[in-house]
C-alpha cells in the first residue's frame, strides 16, 4: 500500500471526480463544497483573475460545476485559530506540554504518528481546518437546514493529497458517515472544469454562501508557510495584553520560503517564541532536540510538510519556477491586506457560530467535534534505520 510507504500519504492518490459528479447528479443529495485558501492563489495566477476577484471566481466556478452550496474553507481556518490559540494559551497558563506543535497539516501528522510518535503530546489536539469544516457542516449546518446527514455530500477542494487520506481516517467517520465525503485536488477541479467545457469567461463571480460567508485575512494566510503562526499570534498577543490589536498585525519575519523561520514577540514582558518550519526534513533536528530534553527555545511551532506551505501542495499543478510560488503567496498576502476582518477572533460568523452552537472555544461540544487524538502507528515501514535502532516503539 502506498499509504504506508509515504509519510505524508501523498502517494495514496485516488481520484474522486466520479464520486463528486455522481453526487451532483443525485437529486436527493445536497452537495456542499468548500475551497482552501491556496486554491484561489493558483486560480488567480492561472486565469489572470485579480486577487480581489479570486474568491468570487472560485464560488462562481463551483456553482457552475453543479455544487448546491459553496463555503469558504478560510472560515474553518478562523475556527482552527480560535480553538488552537485558546489551547495554546491554556497550556501556557496551566504549564501544559510545551512547545505546542500545530496540527493542521495531515502530512505532518502522518509523519509524527509513523516516525516520531513520542512527540504526539506536543501536538495540538485540534483537528485540521478540513475536518473542522466537515464536522461543522455535518452537524451544525445539517441541523440548521433540517437536512439528514446521509443526504449531505461534503466535498473539500484543496491543494493537498494527504487530505484525501485524512478524510478517510476512521476517527472522522461516524455511523458509517464521513465528515468529508470526497476530497478534490486543485488539479482534479481544473480537470472537471475542462470535462464540463467551462471557459473562465463563462464563470459568473458570486459570494460564498451563508452561514460561513465571512472570513478573515488571517485565515487566508493559512495557504502559505507561516500563515497559521501569524494568525495565531494576531490572537495570542491580543489575549495576552487584553488590548485590541490595531497595528503591527504583520509578522513578516515568519513568512517566506526558508526551511525554518523564527520570531520572538515581547508581550508586556512575556516572551512568545515562535518557529515556522516548512518541509518535514527541517522539523527533524527540532524534534530530536526535544526528545533529548533540550530546550529548543520555542513555545509554538508551526510545521507544514510542503516546502513553502500549501501553495506548494502536490495537488496543485507543478509550478514551473520558484517565482510562481512567490506569486501564489503574494495573492494571499494581498487578500489579507484588503480584508474587512484581519483577525480570526473578530470574524462575526465565527462569533455567531460559538454563540449559537459551540458555546465557547474549547467547550465540551467543541472538544467533541473539533478536536481529536492522534495515535502511534507502530512498526511502520517509513521509520529511518536510526529510529528503528534507537526507539523501543519501533523495535518490531
Spatial separation of the C-alpha atoms in residues 14 and 11, rounded to whole Å: 9
Q: What is the DSSP string of 128-167?
A: PHHHHHHHHIIIIIHHHHT--GGGEEEEEEES-SHHHHHH
Q: x/- contact string, 1-20, with ligand SF4 (CB under 6 A)? A: -------x------------
Q: Which of 82, 105, 184, 300 lies at the binding interface for ligand SF4 (CB under 6 A)?
A: 105
Choose the binding region for ligand SF4 from 99-107, 142-150, 235-243, 349-357 (rule: CB under 6 A).
99-107
- Binding-site size for ligand SF4 (CB under 6 A) equals 14
Interior CA angle at 12 toward 123 and 283, to 5°?
Answer: 35
- Name the β-bridge partners of 218: none
Site membership for ligand SF4, residue 219 (CB under 6 A): no
Choose the binding region for ligand SF4 from 26-34, 67-75, 157-165, 174-182 (rule: CB under 6 A).
157-165
Q: For the range 385-392, what are the long-range contacts, defined as Cβ-Cβ under 8 Å and sequence gap of 24 or more? A: 387/115, 387/116, 391/118
Choose the binding region for ligand SF4 from 105-113, 179-187, 322-330, 366-374 (rule: CB under 6 A).
105-113
Contact 233, 240 (CB under 8 A): no
Q: How far is CA 128 from CA 71, 106, 118, 271, in A?
A: 16, 7, 20, 27
Choose the binding region for ligand SF4 from 159-167, 254-262, 365-373, 383-391 (rule: CB under 6 A).
159-167
- Name the β-bridge partners of 177: 174
Q: Which of 37, 60, 99, 159 lies at the binding interface for ligand SF4 (CB under 6 A)?
A: 159
Q: Which of 49, 126, 160, 275 lies at the binding interface for ligand SF4 (CB under 6 A)?
A: 160
Contact 340, 246 (CB under 8 A): no
Length of the chain: 396
Q: x/- contact string, 296-315, with ligand SF4 (CB under 6 A)? A: --------xxx--xx--x--
Least distance between ligand SF4 and beta carbon 171 (Å): 17
Cell reading at 237:
498577543
Site membership for ligand SF4, residue 350 (CB under 6 A): no
Name which of 37 and 99 has its Cβ closer to ligand SF4. 37
Q: If phi over 0 gives left and psi between -120 and 50 gives alpha, with beta otherwise, what is residue 237?
A: alpha
**Active-site residues: which are they?**
84, 87, 104, 124, 163, 166, 171, 310
Site membership for ligand SF4, residue 33 (CB under 6 A): no
Contacting positions for ligand SF4 (CB under 6 A): 8, 105-107, 159-160, 162-163, 304-306, 309-310, 313
Amino acid at each position: 500500500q502506498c499509504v504506508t510507504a509515504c509519510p505524508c500519504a501523498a502517494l495514496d492518490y485516488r481520484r474522486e471526480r466520479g464520486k463528486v459528479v455522481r453526487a451532483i447528479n443525485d437529486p436527493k443529495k445536497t452537495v456542499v463544497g468548500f475551497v482552501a485558501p491556496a486554491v484561489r492563489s493558483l486560480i488567480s495566477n492561472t486565469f489572470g483573475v485579480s486577487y480581489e476577484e479570486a474568491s468570487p471566481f472560485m464560488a462562481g466556478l463551483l456553482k457552475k460545476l453543479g455544487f448546491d452550496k459553496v463555503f469558504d474553507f478560510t472560515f474553518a481556518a478562523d475556527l482552527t485559530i480560535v480553538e488552537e490559540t485558546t489551547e495554546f494559551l491554556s497550556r501556557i497558563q496551566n504549564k501544559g506540554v510545551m512547545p505546542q506543535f500545530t496540527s493542521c497539516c495531515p502530512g505532518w501528522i502522518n509523519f509524527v504518528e509513523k516516525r516520531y510518535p513520542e512527540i504526539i503530546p506536543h501536538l495540538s489536539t485540534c483537528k485540521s481546518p478540513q475536518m473542522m469544516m466537515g464536522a461543522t457542516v455535518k452537524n451544525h449546518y445539517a441541523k440548521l437546514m433540517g437536512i439528514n446527514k446521509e443526504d449531505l455530500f461534503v466535498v473539500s477542494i484543496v491543494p493537498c493529497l494527504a487530505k484525501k487520506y485524512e478524510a478517510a481516517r476512521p476517527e472522522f467517520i461516524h455511523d458509517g458517515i464521513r465528515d468529508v465525503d470526497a476530497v478534490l485536488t486543485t488539479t482534479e477541479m481544473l480537470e472537471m472544469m475542462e470535462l464540463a467545457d467551462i471557459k473562465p469567461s463563462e464563470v459568473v463571480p458570486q459570494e460564498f454562501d451563508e452561514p460561513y460567508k465571512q472570513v478573515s485575512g488571517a485565515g487566508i494566510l493559512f495557504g502559505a508557510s507561516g500563515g497559521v503562526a501569524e494568525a495565531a499570534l494576531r490572537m495570542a498577543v491580543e489575549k495576552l495584553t487584553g488590548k485590541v490589536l490595531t497595528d503591527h498585525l504583520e509578522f513578516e519575519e515568519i513568512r517566506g520560503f526558508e526551511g525554518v523561520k523564527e520570531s520572538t514577540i515581547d508581550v508586556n514582558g512575556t516572551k512568545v517564541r515562535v518557529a515556522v518550519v516548512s518541509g518535514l526534513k527541517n522539523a527533524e533536528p527540532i524534534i530530536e532536540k526535544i526528545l533529548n530534553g533540550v530546550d529548543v527555545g520555542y513555545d509554538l511551532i508551526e510545521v507544514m510538510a510542503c516546502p513553502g506551505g500549501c501553495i506548494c501542495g502536490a495537488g496543485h499543478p507543478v509550478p514551473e519556477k520558484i517565482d510562481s510560488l512567490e506569486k501564489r503567496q503574494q495573492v494571499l498576502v494581498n487578500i489579507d491586506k484588503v480584508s474587512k476582518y484581519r483577525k480570526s477572533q473578530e470574524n462575526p460568523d465565527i462569533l455567531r457560530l460559538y454563540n449559537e452552537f459551540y458555546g465557547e472555544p474549547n467547550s465540551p461540544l467543541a472538544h467533541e467535534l473539533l478536536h481529536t487524538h492522534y495515535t502511534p502507528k507502530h512498526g511502520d515501514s517509513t521509520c529511518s534505520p536510526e529510529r528503528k535502532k534507537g526507539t523501543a516503539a519501533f523495535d518490531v
